[in-house]
């Protein structure tokens, strides 16, 4: 079975159970940096990626994972894809862990960091493929979408809000770095798309 589909199934199952049947498990799975540092509950860097704040949050993450994950998994192989996803969860949690380690009120949930790793891995391998966004009647080259997304995330991260833009940025950057460092021929493939190789 596809790793992407297995991850989606796990996310849906765990998210629905923790949202509607086991709220105490939701509390245990979320990442609270203050608690992680003091209680050494490092598992939260991964477990928080399998619980979501609501159905909309879950749907958006799984929608993106479905459409970009299947293609990327096929391109880099199941082993690399699984490693990218789980390291993406951990790496994308680190900025929040460092920034909020002394704030007992801060908590974060969701697979967004890992999903951004997958999305930006896709962008690196398919930079000119179009990405379609609601209400825009034409596709945007994925590399342009990636640049705009990162620029917006950096800008938005300077304010306060419920969206963890730091996780998005860290996950996106890790998606690029993972493929460049660990997946052979990534840079050659990227350059060849632009006729530079």
Q: Catalogue all structural domains in the chain, each as residue range(s) with its CATH number.
A: 3-193 (1.20.1540.10)
Distance CA 53, CA 86 (A): 20
Check whether 178 has a pLDDT greater than 80: yes
Mean pLDDT calculated for residue range 73-80:
98
Q: What angle do CA 141, 61, 109 make, to 5 degrees?
A: 130
At 141 the three-state DSSP class reads: strand
Mean pLDDT calculated for residue range 159-182:
91
Task: Please count the CA atoms within 13 angstroms of the CA of 11 that sit on its side-chain side.
Answer: 32
What pLDDT, on a 0 to 100 scale, did the predictor assign at position 165? 87
Asked if 10 contacts 51 with a C-beta cutoff of 8 angstroms, the reply is no
Of the listed ranges 16-30, 69-83, 151-165, 172-186, the least confidently predicted one is 151-165
Confidence of residue 88 (pLDDT cuts 50, 70, 90): very high
Check whether 160 has a pLDDT greater than 80: no
| pLDDT digits 0-9 by tens, 139-158 | 999 999 999 999 999 998 88
Mean pLDDT calculated for residue range 162-171:
90
More confident residue, 1 or 61: 61
Check whether 66 has a pLDDT greater than 90: yes
**Mean per-residue pLDDT of the chain:** 95
Check whether 137 has a pLDDT greater than 90: no
**Strand partners for 24:** none
**Number of other residues whose CB lies within 10 A of the CB of residue 10:** 13
Mean pLDDT calculated for residue range 90-106:
96
What pLDDT, on a 0 to 100 scale, did the predictor assign at position 135? 80
Distance CA 41, CA 47 (A): 10
């Amino acid at each position: 079975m596809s790793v992407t589909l297995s991850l989606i199934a796990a996310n849906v199952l765990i998210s629905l159970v923790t949202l509607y049947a086991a709220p105490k498990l939701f509390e245990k799975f979320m990442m609270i940096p203050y608690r992680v540092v003091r209680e050494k509950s490092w598992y939260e860097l991964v477990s928080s990626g399998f619980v979501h704040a609501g159905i909309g949050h879950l749907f958006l993450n799984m929608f993106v994972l479905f459409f970009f994950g299947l293609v990327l998994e096929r391109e880099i192989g199941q082993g690399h894809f699984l490693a990218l996803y789980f390291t993406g969860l951990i790496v994308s949690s680190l900025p929040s862990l460092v920034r909020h380690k002394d704030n007992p009120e801060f908590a974060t949930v969701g697979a967004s960091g890992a999903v951004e790793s997958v999305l930006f891995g896709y962008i690196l391998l398919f930079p000119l493929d179009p990405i379609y966004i609601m209400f825009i009647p034409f596709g945007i080259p994925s590399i342009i979408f990636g640049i705009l997304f990162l620029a917006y995330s950096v800008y938005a991260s300077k304010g306060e809000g419920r969206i963890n833009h730091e996780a998005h940025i860290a996950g996106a950057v890790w998606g690029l770095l993972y493929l460049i460092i660990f997946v052979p021929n990534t840079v050659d493939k990227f350059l060849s798309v632009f006729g530079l190789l």
